[in-house]
Amino acid sequence: GGVPVGLASKPFQILYGHTNEVLTVGISTELDVAVSGSRDGTVIIHTIQKGQYMRTLRPPCESSLFLTIPNLAISWEGHIVVYSSTEEKTTLKDKNALHLFSINGKYLGSQILKEQVSDICIIGEHIVTGSIQGFLSVRDLHSLNLSINPLAMRLPIHCVCVTKEYSHILVGLEDGKLIVVGVGKPAEMRSGQLSRKFWGSSKRLSQISAGETEYNTQDSKSRITKQQR
């Protein structure tokens, strides 16, 4: 193996508090916080610079079954989106859910999900999620409601990411393919804001059909394209 460049040989901080395996971590250097989710069902917030414990978040769950936190994300304003899941054998409707908290630990709401979330990213006022069932979804950050119809990728999604210009969503699939989903011209997407042409309710992502490489929105002037890399 090679030698890492610019990586210190010793950790900057070692943070403690969970009683089981840490499954996910979110970092905001601007807010000086590290947020971690664990198999023990808790979310813990620490400061980065001093490594100080701030608070523990516990997503609500009506059942007494074992709750885990497989994924989370933090927005630049400090909103924390937490995905929780209960043990596999349960048939309860709250088996999979998204929860929203403020940076101060205030619980703001939840949304029950029908699929297992594999990755989350927050861009501006929207949440982008990929699922094991193969759905790419965009939700409003504050209400957690769907902003557009989910796009079916046909295969389990392993990771999602939005480009710096907010013009494309990059989706990694189980078979190793990278799917690029975009709307409009890159010049229409301005840094610091989300174009309604991309995220607004006037646009709908149509479902994928076998062999299809181009997707039309309701507006004929704009197209959604899918590329494989």
pLDDT band at 5 (very low <50, low <70, confident <90, very high): confident
Please report whether residue 130 resides in a domain.
Answer: no
Least confident stretch, 8-12, 108-112, 140-144, 188-192:
188-192
Does the pLDDT at position 188 exceed 70? Answer: no
At 170 the pLDDT is 94
Q: What is the pTM of this model?
A: 0.78
Residues near 192 by beta carbon (within 8 Å), at least 6 away in sequence? none
**Model pLDDT for residues 48-89, shown as the tens digit of each residue:** 999 999 999 999 887 656 899 999 999 999 999 999 998 666
The verdict on 152 and 210 lying in the same domain is: yes
Q: Which runs of consecutive H residues, i.e. helices, occur in the chain?
A: 196-199
Question: Which residues span the domain enclosing 223?
Answer: 148-229
Please report whether residue 164 resides in a domain.
Answer: yes
Determine the average pLDDT of the residues in 85-107: 84
Two tokens at 27? 């970092």
- Give me the phi and psi of 150, to 5 degrees please: -60, 150
Please report whether residue 131 resides in a domain.
Answer: no
The verdict on 18 and 103 lying in the same domain is: yes
CA distance 16 to 14: 7
How many folded domains does the chain comprise?
2
